[in-house]
């Protein structure tokens, strides 16, 4: 089932929470997901920045599944706006991380398609290996 694979983990260059949620694949079957990826769909994450006086937090969003033709800049707009409103206020990293977040989101976010696909395939293989084998009596 695709939704059980959605809670998968993956390793990417960015520092990520290892149980990152994938948004946009709810209810999709594995074959549908493969078909969409072959058509040009991708998995993307966005950055956002929040500052509180001297504390600044730069975090990745959940992973978003974008079908071919969907605009990643529009999908990342809420994270960009959050950074613009709440990111500047920390000294000295607030402005720096805010500019980085806005820049990355305006370029369509970080494409993590290959890492996610590899993780989903590995989880699928583990699930098949762990399934009980029916014994012939």
Q: Say how far residue 91 (Cα) sits from the centre of its chain.
A: 28
Look at residue 78 and tell me if it is in a domain: yes
pLDDT given for residue 132 in this prediction: 64
> Is position 130 within any domain?
no
Domain contains 51: yes
Can you list the positions of beta strands (E) in 1-137?
22-23, 42-52, 55-66, 110-111
Q: How many domains does the chain have?
A: 1
Range of the domain at 98: 2-123
Say how far apart CA 31 and CA 110 lie, in whole Å: 24
- Is the residue at 131 inside a domain? no
Does residue 135 belong to any structural domain of this protein?
no
- pLDDT tens for each residue of 97-136: 999 999 999 999 999 999 999 988 888 888 778 776 655 5
Query: Is residue 136 included in any domain, yes or no?
Result: no
pLDDT for position 126: 82
119 is a domain residue: yes
> 58 pairs with which residues across the strands?
49
Q: What is the pTM of this model?
A: 0.77
**pLDDT tens by residue, 16-50:** 333 578 999 998 887 899 999 999 999 999 999 99
């Amino acid at each position: 089932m695709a939704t059980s694979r959605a809670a998968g983990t993956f390793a990417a260059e960015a520092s990520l929470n290892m149980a990152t949620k994938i948004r946009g694949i709810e209810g999709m079957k594995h074959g549908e997901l493969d078909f969409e990826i072959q058509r040009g769909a991708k998995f993307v994450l966005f950055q956002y920045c929040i500052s509180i006086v001297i504390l600044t937090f730069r975090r990745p969003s959940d992973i978003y599944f974008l079908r071919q033709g969907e605009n990643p800049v529009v999908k990342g707009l809420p994270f960009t706006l959050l950074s613009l409103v709440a990111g500047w206020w920390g000294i000295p990293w607030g402005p720096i991380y805010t500019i980085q977040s806005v820049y990355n989101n305006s370029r369509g976010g970080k494409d993590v398609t290959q890492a996610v696909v590899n993780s989903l395939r590995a989880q699928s293989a583990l699930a098949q290996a762990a399934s009980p084998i029916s014994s012939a009596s």
